[in-house]
Copies of this chain bind each other. A is one copy, B any other.
Amino acid sequence: MIAVLKLGTTEKQIESLRQWIESQGLKVHLSKGEFQTIIGLVGDTSKIDEELLGSLDIVESVKRISEPFKSANRKFHPDDTIVKVGDTSVGGNIFSVMAGPCSVESEEQVIEIAKAVKAAGATMLRGGAFKPRTSPYDFQGLKAEGIEYLIEAKKETGLPIVTEIMNAAHLPLFEEVDVIQVGARNMQNFELLKELGRIQKPILLKRGLCATVKEWLMSAEYIMAGGNENVILCERGIRSFDSQYTRNVLDLSVVPVLHELTHLPVIVDPSHATGSARLVKPMALAAAACGADGLMIEVHNDPKNALCDGAQSLTPEQFSDVMGSVRHIIGK
């Protein structure tokens, strides 16, 4: 971490800053230029509060050289993390496909879809029981009942299940859920992240709509700092100035970027990102081509009657077609 000091900083002020930094267990390197004095902080700076340092009267700006995330950082964990989920896993050489309905609507529906997506090659069943909706008047999910239907579908098919949590108080309902999803709107719900850090279940952490890569990894860090290292990252599109033809912009370049920065697995959700069933196949293939560890895809047996997000759901037949092309891309 480098701090550039303001013009006119006195020797005494510099000395006082040096002592404060050293009191944090770091070493100080001083470089005095004709116009500018620069202080380098050497050691583990991940626990230094960058804003606090930047707010000091004598500091013009602060630049981190090393990343502020530590548990998620590939530098300190060079090997890929492989998250165990039931008999399967996410990361490493596995290509994971989580498929299922946006909302769980009935036991029959979810079992029928589960069988169909398993036959087509899905490795997990996804389905929404608690639904975050922009409007309080929109359908909010079947809640506990929805989770029960998912568990039934798991019994029938053997597919591990992934579903979203919105409130730490609901955790007891998630006992038999295999992967707990944190949605985009809760990516910086730090209180929820802390609670999820105290359990050992795999957490699928979706990127917030305007979260930077660094903020996303810091949210993963909240979970990991608590002791739960089973974090799966999921890109699901970011907000941009143009939403006429796609709901969000799928930011696929984060896939190789994250593979450099972190050892955590990275999957991609082309359904929510684009909001359009027709765009799911090309974007799923693109995600596979640039190295994603898997996909999350909405599949519905009757998309036009889906209670939510039907416009972006594939039929089981369309999903099967996507899976065939994905296998060509990943060479399996």
Contacts and interface: CB of A to CB of B under 8 A. Distances in A.
Interface string A245-263: 1100111111111001100
A68 to B, nearest CB: 6
Most buried by B among A55, A66, A191, A226: A55
A8 interface: no
B56 A304 contact: yes
A33 interface: yes
A285 interface: yes
B221 A135 contact: yes
- Contact residues of A: prevailing secondary structure: mixed
A139 B49 contact: yes
Contact of A282 (B54, B133, B256): B256
A129 interface: no
Contact of A135 (B134, B191, B218, B253): B218
A283 B56 contact: no
A32 B215 CA distance: 30
Interface string A204-222: 0000011011110010011
Interface stretch (A82-90, A111-119, A153-161, A305-313): A305-313
Contact of A283 (B194, B290, B307): B290
Contacts of A4: 2, 65
A19 interface: no
B288 A289 contact: yes
Interface in A45-82: 46-47, 49, 51-52, 54-57, 60-61, 63, 65-66, 68
A132 interface: yes
Interface stretch (A92-100, A172-180, A181-189): A181-189
Contact of A303 (B55, B186, B251): B55
Most buried by B among A4, A51, A57: A51
Nearest to A58: B304
Contact of A257 (B136, B188, B246, B310): B246
Interface of A: 2, 4, 27, 29-36, 38, 40, 42-43, 46-47, 49, 51-52, 54-57, 60-61, 63, 65-66, 68, 132-139, 166-169, 185-186, 188-191, 194, 209-210, 212-215, 218, 221-222, 225-226, 238-246, 249-257, 260-261, 273-274, 278-279, 282-283, 285-291, 303-304, 306-312, 328-329, 331
Given A132-B190, A283-B290, 4 more contacts: A36-B40, A52-B308, A136-B225, A186-B189
25 contacts: A2-B63, A29-B32, A30-B31, A31-B40, A34-B42, A36-B65, A47-B137, A49-B138, A49-B139, A49-B308, A56-B304, A134-B188, A135-B221, A136-B221, A137-B225, A167-B168, A186-B188, A238-B240, A241-B241, A246-B257, A249-B253, A257-B279, A260-B278, A286-B287, A289-B290
Which 10 A-B pairs have CB atoms at the shortest separation, nearest pair first?
A55-B310, A31-B31, A210-B210, A289-B289, A55-B311, A282-B290, A286-B286, A185-B188, A286-B290, A285-B289
